Amino acid sequence: MQHSENQPADIEIALWQYSENGGDWNRWMQSLSSDERDRAATYRFERDRTSFIAGRYLLRRLLSMHTGTSPSKLVLSADKHGKLRLGGDGRLQFSLANADGLVAVAVASACDHLGIDCERADTEIEATAVDSYCSADERRWLAELPASERGRAAIALWTLKESHLKALGVGLHEDPRNVAFSWKDGIPVMVGGDRDRRWHHRLVESGSQHVVALAACSQSGSPGISTRLFQDDSMPSE
């Protein structure tokens, strides 16, 4: 959705294809809390450690822009399901996801719930895994697609479901088959008897080999979405 210059987007999404060589760790770490730095040190594999540091670095950079608080001074805590909350500011909803060199962060102040997820588009999903998270209608839809499109479509369904469950703050404690989708005019729509029209779902262009999905619950209709590619030296203007 496009916005005029004097009308900010309801939801801001930042996507960052960070370097995995670890060369900027020290600078990124300066924006993290002491607890986050301690947690980063526990990761056995460098790739996982870099992914965690980059994710928290981008999240804190964006939240700092919205709150005016220094990134390292922001207080983040996880609830019982692991969903992060921002201390001292209940207005902001936010969500973080990372996968194989991409970090995605969504921030909004006018949503009741917000979730984002990303996955590599070329990830291979076994048929048994598809059965475990797709409804019967979704499996039939996948089976009718050309073989060349089926893999990416399966990933899209997974990221849509994961973003929705993250927005609810329940993760995989909820059966993903209970969150089913169809497509209307190219836009994913949640289906089912308990369909709540306050929910809106989108697949977001990532500019990379990733599928990115957003879930938002908004009282004021379809939210506006602004997406930008993050550059480490600054947040570029729209």
Per-residue pLDDT of 109-158, as tens digits, reads 878 899 999 999 998 888 899 999 999 999 999 999 999 999 999 999 99
CA-CA distance, 13 to 59, in Å (whole number)? Answer: 11
Joined tokens for residue 190: 């949640």
Res 39: pLDDT: 95
Nearest to 98 by CA among 66, 149, 57: 57
Nearest to 179 by CA among 193, 197, 167, 191: 191
Is pLDDT at 196 greater than 80 in this prediction? no
Higher pLDDT, 24 or 165: 165
Average confidence (pLDDT) over 174-179:
88
Q: Which residues of 213-227 are buried (b: 16+ CB within 10 A; e: fewer)?
A: bbbbbbeeeebbbeb
Res 221: pLDDT: 75
CATH class belonging to 11-229: alpha beta
Is pLDDT at 237 greater than 50 in this prediction? no
Nearest to 98 by CA among 56, 132, 128: 56
Is pLDDT at 4 greater than 60 in this prediction? no
Predicted TM-score (pTM) of this structure:
0.88
Res 23: pLDDT: 59
Beta strands per DSSP E along 54-194: 76-78, 84-86, 93-99, 102-108, 113-120, 180-184, 187-191
Res 9: pLDDT: 52
Percent of the chain with pLDDT over 90: 60
Is pLDDT at 213 greater than 80 in this prediction? yes
CA-CA distance, 202 to 116, in Å (whole number)? Answer: 10
Name residue 84's beta-bridge partners: 78
CA-CA distance, 161 to 180, in Å (whole number)? Answer: 8
Q: How many CB atoms lie within 10 A of CB 116?
A: 27
- Would you place residue 7 in the very low, low, confident or very high pLDDT band (cuts 50, 70, 90)? very low
Res 174: pLDDT: 79
Is pLDDT at 10 greater than 60 in this prediction? yes
Q: How many CB atoms lie within 10 A of CB 172?
A: 12
Domain boundaries, the chain: 11-229
Name residue 114's beta-bridge partners: 216
Is pLDDT at 232 greater than 60 in this prediction? yes
Q: How many CB atoms lie within 10 A of CB 60?
A: 23
Joined tokens for residue 40: 């980063």
Res 172: pLDDT: 66
> Which of 5-9, 52-56, 154-158, 166-170 shows the lowest mean pLDDT across its residues?
5-9
Tell me the HSE value of 145 on the side-chain side, using a 13 A CA sphere: 14
Q: In what order do the strands lie in the sheet with 102-108?
A: 93-99, 102-108, 11-17, 225-229
Res 78: pLDDT: 85
CA-CA distance, 173 to 151, in Å (whole number)? Answer: 25
- Would you place residue 106 in the very low, low, confident or very high pLDDT band (cuts 50, 70, 90)? very high
